[in-house]
Chains A and B, each alone.
Chain A
Amino acid sequence: MTLPSSVVGDLGVLGVAFLPLAAINWHSVMFLLFAAVACLAAVAVVAADNVVRMALYLVVSLAATAGLFFLAGAEFVGAMQLMIYVGGTLVLLVFGVMLTAQAPFVAIKSEGGDRVVAGIVGAALLAALVLAGLSVPAWRQPASMHAPPPAATPLGMALVGVRVDAAEGPGVIGPRVGYLLPFEIVSVHLLVVLVGAAYLARAKRRKVPRPIDQVASVEPPASVAAHASIGRGERAGSVLTGGSA
């Protein structure tokens, strides 16, 4: 399976022509890419006024962070971030955005003074955090790039209370404890939250009309202005069943 030497020579020339390509540390490049996307999207969340766009930028930021987790060898956390954060929490959030996306609330402008103060305080906070992060020499050591151990199974074992990861790895610190109790607490917590959220969000029967009904009856959302006359007024049924149309 050897190619003729002329072909190899051509490819060699190609390799020389793209010599910088061969010298690139792809891990760093991917890190830069994901980090830039995550940070720019995070800043865009702050800068945007339209709440739907904010949600989109947040999705991009969190997904790029998941990419950073993959690059750091934390595959399970990265997949978890994609599944629960991006696929679950944010869908929920977007759902909320759409339920409340009446025209006056889509873009509530922040006050100018608030922005200036937030900018100053934020810059100070950022400077402090970055200086703190760069102050420890050990954290500035370039990555040793030892292949990360398969993290999912030991992580699962740790969550049920058994530690099987390399207990005496080079310089590993930290307690050798399992996480069964926190795991159980989180499970019960999630159950309580589920019940509580369902209770809070349940449909209530009320005798006096809600303020929302009055607002909606005088002010149709601009985005559906063309169809405003259809089914307006009764508001029976949920948005999922197509309203009362």
Chain B
Amino acid sequence: MVEYLTHTLGLSGTLAWTIAAVVAAVLVLNVIAGGALVFIWAERKVAARIQDRLGPTRTGGRFGWLQSLADGIKLLAKEDLMPDGADGLLFKIAPYVSFCASFCAFIALPFAFDVVGLRLNVAVFFVVAVLGLEVFGVIIAGYASASKWSLFGAMREAAQVVSYEVPLGMCVVVPVMLAGSMDMVTIAEKQAGWFWNWYLFHDPFTFVVFWVYVTCAVASVNRAPFDLAEAESELVAGFHTEYSGLRWSFFFMAEYGSMFLVSGMAAVLFLGGWNGPIPIATLLGWSEGTGESAHYLVRLVGLANLIGKATLGVLFMMWIRWTLPRLRIDQVMTTCLKYCTPIAAVMFAGAMLWQVLLPGGLMPGVGRPGGEVREGWLEGPGGRAVQAPAPPAVAEIRP
């Protein structure tokens, strides 16, 4: 886009860069805000169907599809209350801290081959790190509300999120190891082709790791059955008991943004990213070089693929929310420390051994992109090959 602005419109580089940055930021903001609207409506409908109800039916004609817009207007018009004993400054900024963390993580999430806010070399690490910051908003909110329920909710959240970052990190490392890069674009590219190239089906260990990742992701974005921070049966509404109006809706948007984010990350890490289950573009002969329209069409299909997969992930989370009962806090901790962490550790070791011993997979014929020497830095400056550090045994067994 920067090239387009500079070459076609003749703008200076910095100005073009600025415009591109603003456009990208607005697009990401729209993904979160628009996504939240759609997902809140979807959550109501899914919940209703699971509980054998109808859900919203009236607002906006059929299916009540304008329900979240009506909710939004109601929230805007609602009085913004603050408890008497609250710490004013902290109470006010807490929702924005949460929302900003959720928003910042989207910077590094690739939506299609080129459609990424910032192609970071440590994208996976960055997203996990920034996602962990969301907990601060919750803790501050819980403390500043000057309410017992809020404080308990915040303490639970802090304990839970810090604990679940450990197995989550271990799960995330497995695809990173297989791809040999922390760059999400590279990771998704490695899974191009048919769906058996996805890291989900790479080996039995990654298949297990994916489900551990799902568990940890649900826990780290505070969704049922791990929503102890807002357990309404014991803590009224947990950390956001005292919030109302627009500030409350910021917490809500942050939650749905994070759900979409962890689902998108699952899609990139395990489900092939923007590569569909069937490589339609390749079968039709479209590729990067076939012309401008095909070029954009491939991007568009990729975008649809990734958003579709992430949406499926969000719907999956809704499904478990309305199906499973909430755990107790000690059960949440047990799940993390006694089950998820050891399983993730063992699966990590297993995937590593598999990668060393069977780099071509069990069926060498299907053409998995094996362990070639992957990164450009190995070729040193000026095309001069620096000696590869690891013994390239992996490369020779490549089919």
Is there a contact between chains A and B in the complex with CB atoms less than 8 Å apart?
Answer: yes
How many angstroms from the CA of A230 to the CA of B130 in the assembled complex? 38
Q: Are the CB atoms of B152 and A242 closer together than 8 Å?
A: yes
Taking the closest CB of chain A, its distance from the CB of B255, in whole angstroms, is 18
Interface 0/1 of B58-88, CB less than 8 Å to A: 0000000000000000000000000001010
Q: Are the CB atoms of A242 and B234 closer together than 8 Å?
A: yes
Q: Which of A11, A91, A152 lies in contact with B9, CB distance below 8 A?
A: A11
How many angstroms from the CA of A166 to the CA of B121 in the assembled complex? 18
Given contacts A2-B8, A52-B87, A223-B146, whether A240 and B329 have CB atoms under 8 Å apart is yes
How many angstroms from the CA of A164 to the CA of B379 in the assembled complex? 10
| One of B135-143, B206-214, B349-357 contacting the partner | B135-143
Taking the closest CB of chain A, its distance from the CB of B333, in whole angstroms, is 8
A116 CB–B CB distance under 8 Å: no
Q: Are the CB atoms of A82 and B139 closer together than 8 Å?
A: no
CB closest chain-A residue, reference B161 = A91
Interface of A is mostly: helix
Taking the closest CB of chain B, its distance from the CB of A83, in whole angstroms, is 4
Taking the closest CB of chain A, its distance from the CB of B1, in whole angstroms, is 12
Interface 0/1 of A230-245, CB less than 8 Å to B: 1000000001111100
B-facing residues in A168-225 (Cβ within 8 Å)? 169, 222-224
Interface 0/1 of B134-177, CB less than 8 Å to A: 01100110010011100110111011011001000000000000
B90 CB–A CB distance under 8 Å: yes
Q: Are the CB atoms of B122 and A76 closer together than 8 Å?
A: yes
How many angstroms from the CA of A106 to the CA of B380 in the assembled complex? 55
How many angstroms from the CA of A3 to the CA of B165 in the assembled complex? 50
A63 CB–B CB distance under 8 Å: yes
B31 CB–A CB distance under 8 Å: no
A133 CB–B CB distance under 8 Å: no
How many angstroms from the CA of A153 to the CA of B136 in the assembled complex? 30
Chain B count of residues within 8 A CB distance of the other chain: 56
Most chain A CB atoms below 10 A, which of B126, B375, B378: B126
Q: Which of B12, B152, B158 lies in contact with A22, CB distance below 8 A?
A: B12
Q: Are the CB atoms of A92 and B162 closer together than 8 Å?
A: yes
Q: Are the CB atoms of A98 and B133 closer together than 8 Å?
A: no
Q: Are the CB atoms of A87 and B121 closer together than 8 Å?
A: no
B11 CB–A CB distance under 8 Å: yes
Q: Are the CB atoms of B121 and A75 closer together than 8 Å?
A: yes
B193 CB–A CB distance under 8 Å: no
Interface 0/1 of A72-102, CB less than 8 Å to B: 0001100110110011101110110010010
A227 CB–B CB distance under 8 Å: yes
Q: Are the CB atoms of B122 and A75 closer together than 8 Å?
A: yes
How many angstroms from the CA of A35 to the CA of B200 in the assembled complex? 42
Q: Which of B9, B14, B130, B159 lies in contact with A8, CB distance below 8 A?
A: B9
Q: Are the CB atoms of A11 and B158 closer together than 8 Å?
A: no
Q: Are the CB atoms of A98 and B125 closer together than 8 Å?
A: no
Q: Are the CB atoms of A240 and B386 closer together than 8 Å?
A: no
How many angstroms from the CA of A157 to the CA of B386 in the assembled complex? 14
Chain B residues closer than 8 Å to A94, beta-carbon distance: 136, 139, 158
Given contacts A75-B120, A166-B381, whether A26 and B148 have CB atoms under 8 Å apart is no
CB closest chain-A residue, reference B87 = A52
CB closest chain-A residue, reference B330 = A241
B194 CB–A CB distance under 8 Å: no
How many angstroms from the CA of A19 to the CA of B207 in the assembled complex? 55
Taking the closest CB of chain A, its distance from the CB of B180, in whole angstroms, is 8
B-facing residues in A1-55 (Cβ within 8 Å)? 1-3, 8, 11-12, 15, 18, 21-26, 50, 52-53
Q: Which of A53, A80, A87, A241 lies in contact with B90, CB distance below 8 A?
A: A53
Given contacts A15-B11, A162-B389, whether A82 and B133 have CB atoms under 8 Å apart is yes
CB closest chain-B residue, reference A99 = B155
Given contacts A83-B129, A86-B133, A154-B377, whether A26 and B11 have CB atoms under 8 Å apart is no
B-facing residues in A110-139 (Cβ within 8 Å)? none
Chain A residues closer than 8 Å to B301, beta-carbon distance: none
B33 CB–A CB distance under 8 Å: no
Q: Are the CB atoms of B18 and A150 closer together than 8 Å?
A: no
Q: Are the CB atoms of A164 and B386 closer together than 8 Å?
A: yes
A82-B132, A153-B375 given; 12 more Cβ-contact pairs under 8 Å: A8-B10, A25-B14, A56-B90, A56-B136, A76-B122, A76-B125, A86-B129, A90-B136, A91-B162, A150-B121, A164-B389, A224-B151
* 24 pairs, CB–CB < 8 Å, chain A vs chain B: A1-B8, A26-B14, A52-B143, A53-B90, A63-B133, A79-B125, A79-B126, A82-B132, A83-B165, A95-B158, A95-B159, A98-B154, A150-B377, A152-B122, A153-B181, A153-B377, A166-B380, A227-B148, A230-B148, A239-B152, A240-B152, A240-B329, A241-B330, A242-B235
10 shortest interchain CB distances as A-B pairs: A87-B132, A83-B129, A82-B129, A22-B12, A79-B125, A162-B389, A22-B15, A150-B121, A79-B126, A223-B146
